[in-house]
Chains A and B, each alone.
Chain A
């Protein structure tokens, strides 16, 4: 059973607007939550993360929010740019250096 879920396979947003990507998880023992960005024909690249003891982490245009009671996290991109068009994977890590990935959300930013 999948421990990390991304229920939206795709998302389209106008340039300059906010993109919100969502992720749900089932295991309350995860220590860190991460977002990866993937362009076609490239490997996933680390984007931003958040520790389980925090509820928000910001890095430039990217902010990740964690709601532990709801077992939900979200990635906000403001303002969205055409270069942000990619597949975004949510991931969680816990004991034993294990990583669990969601199925990905394909973001398209329309110029």
Chain B
């Protein structure tokens, strides 16, 4: 168990509202990631971080922003949620060449 906690686990929000998902790790890993999982698309990288205040975009970053003010916390923000952002979101950390995932957050935008 890599000590990754995602919150909330489930959320329903309205179109146009801001949403923040939190990922917390207890292992002090440098690299953290946000993925989304959608049918037919697998796991797609949204943003990742390689240290406090060091972040970069992934392949599906439009409409998302991230922040990492502490090693243990990586926040994903949807500034104005859209229905296309309905998905399951996974946070991950990497330890050497392996990635470990949190339990996921199911987000529904109505």
By a beta-carbon cutoff of 8 Å, the part of chain A in contact with chain B is 6, 9, 31-32, 34, 36, 41-46, 49, 89, 91, 93, 96-99, 101-104
- Chain B residue nearest in CB terms to A91: B99
With a cutoff of 8 Å between Cβ atoms, the chain B residues found around residue A104 in the complex are 42-43
User: Which residues from 75 to 104 on chain B have a C-beta closer than 8 Å to any C-beta of chain A?
Assistant: 90, 92, 94, 97-104
Q: Tell me whether B74 is interfacial, beta carbon within 8 Å.
A: no
| B33 nearest CB neighbor, chain A only | A99
Most B CB contacts (10 A, CB to CB) among A41, A44, A89 go to A44
Q: B residues bordering A, Cβ < 8 Å?
A: 4, 31, 33, 35, 40-45, 48, 50, 90, 92, 94, 97-104
- Please give me the 3 A-B residue pairs with the lowest Cβ-Cβ distance, nearest first: A43-B101, A103-B42, A101-B43
- Residues from chain A with a CB closer than 8 A to the CB of B42 are 6, 89, 101-104
Pick from A42, A43, A102 the residue with the most CB of B within 10 Å: A43
Which secondary structure characterizes the binding site on chain A?
mixed
Q: Which residues of A contact B44 (CB under 8 A)?
A: 101
Q: How many A-B residue pairs have CB under 8 A?
A: 57
Residues of A within 8 A of B43 (CB): 44, 89, 91, 101, 104
Do B41 and A97 have beta carbons less than 8 Å apart?
no
> Which residues from chain B contact A31 at a C-beta distance below 8 Å?
97
Of B4, B50, B90, B103, which contacts A97 at CB under 8 A?
A: B50
Option from A9, A43, A96, A102 in Cβ contact (under 8 Å) with B103 = A43
In the assembled complex, the CB of A104 is this many whole angstroms from the nearest CB of chain B, namely 5
What residues on B are CB-neighbors of A97 within 8 Å? 31, 48, 50, 94
Q: Report yes or no: B45 in contact with A103, Cβ–Cβ below 8 A.
A: no
Q: How far is the CA of A6 from the CA of B40 in the complex (A)?
A: 10
B104 (CB) vs chain A CBs: closest residue: A43
Partner of B90, one of A32, A43, A49: A43
On whether A46 and B98 interact (CB within 8 A), knowing A97-B31, A97-B50, the answer reads yes
Tell me which residues across on chain A come within 8 A of B101, comparing CB atoms. 36, 43-45
Question: What separation, in Å, do the CA atoms of A34 and B101 have in the docked complex?
Answer: 13
